[in-house]
Chains A and B, each alone.
Chain A
Amino acid sequence: ETGVTQTPRHLVMGMTNKKSLKCEQHLGHNAMYWYKQSAKKPLELMFVYNFKEQTENNSVPSRFSPECPNSSHLFLHLHTLQPEDSALYLCASSRTGANEQFFGPGTRLTVL
C-alpha cells in the first residue's frame, strides 16, 4: 500500500450523469495531483494542488472539476463526460517541493 486510496475503483457512467472520484492520502503530504492514464499514452497531468490551492490546471475541460477541501483529500467531480474520457484516473501526492509522487490504485472510468 502506498498510503494513497481512491474510491470507487471502477465507475461506469452515462454522458448525462454526475459523479465524483475521491482520493485520500495518509502520508502527511501537502501536494496532490490528478492524472489521466489512457492506453498507450503517457500519464497526463490534469491538476495540481499545493496546500489546498490549485497551482496547475493543464488545459482540462470544464466537465472535470477538482476540489481539495484539505491537504488529505482530493475530489474530481465529473459532469457530462464524453466516451473519450474513459480512462484510468490516478491520484498522487507528494511533499511540497519534492519530486517523488506516491500514486493511488486509480479509478477505472467508463463513459457510455
Chain B
Amino acid sequence: GESVGLHLPTLSVQEGDNSIINCAYSNSASDYFIWYKQESGKGPQFIIDIRSNMDKRQGQRVTVLLNKTVKHLSLQIAATQPGDSAVYFCAESPSGATNKLIFGTGTLLAVQP
C-alpha cells in the first residue's frame, strides 16, 4: 500500500551545522512532494515543495532533493539554528489526486546550542 516513512525518528545536530532529514516514499506515481515543520503547540507550517519533474529545489537555507529512482526525498537545512528545532514531515500527493496529501510519521530535529 501507499506509505511515506522517515528513516530517523530523531536527529540531533549542533547549532551551525547542516541538517539532513530523509524520507522514503513507496508510490512511484506521486508527482508532488512537500515538507512541513511543526513546532510544539502549533500546526504544520509549509517549508518547501517539489514536483516530480525536478530533482532539486532551493529555498532560504533549505534545499529539497528528490531521487525518483530510489523513491527518496531529503530536506537539507543549512546552518541549523535553535529555531529550527521541530518535527519535520514529508508528504506526497499521488498523481491526479489533488487535494490529497499522504504524510509520514515525522522526524524530530533537536538543535544543540
**In the complex, are the beta carbons of A45 and B100 less than 8 A apart?**
yes
B49's partner among A40, A48, A100 (CB-CB below 8 A) is: A100
Number of interface residues of B (CB under 8 A): 23
**In the complex, are the beta carbons of B99 and A41 less than 8 A apart?**
no
Report Cα–Cα, A96/B99, bound state, in Å: 7
Decide yes or no whether A61 CB sits under 8 A from chain B: no
Report Cα–Cα, A4/B32, bound state, in Å: 23
Report Cα–Cα, A55/B43, bound state, in Å: 23
Give 1 or 0 for each of A34-60: 1 = CB within 8 Å of chain B CB.
000000111101001010000110000
A2's partner among B4, B43, B105 (CB-CB below 8 A) is: B43
**In the complex, are the beta carbons of A101 and B101 less than 8 A apart?**
yes
Report Cα–Cα, A4/B43, bound state, in Å: 10
Interchain nearest-CB distance for A5 vs B (Å): 10
- In the complex, what residues of A have CB within 8 A of residue B106's CB? 42
- In the complex, what residues of A have CB within 8 A of residue B43's CB? 2, 4, 6, 90, 92, 103-106
**In the complex, are the beta carbons of A103 and B99 less than 8 A apart?**
no
Number of interface residues of A (CB under 8 A): 28
Interchain nearest-CB distance for A29 vs B (Å): 11
Interface residues of A in 29-87 (CB under 8 A from B): 31, 33, 40-43, 45, 48, 50, 55-56
Q: What are 12 contact pairs spanning A and B, CB under 8 A?
A: A2-B43, A4-B43, A41-B105, A43-B44, A45-B101, A50-B99, A56-B99, A92-B43, A99-B99, A103-B44, A104-B43, A106-B43
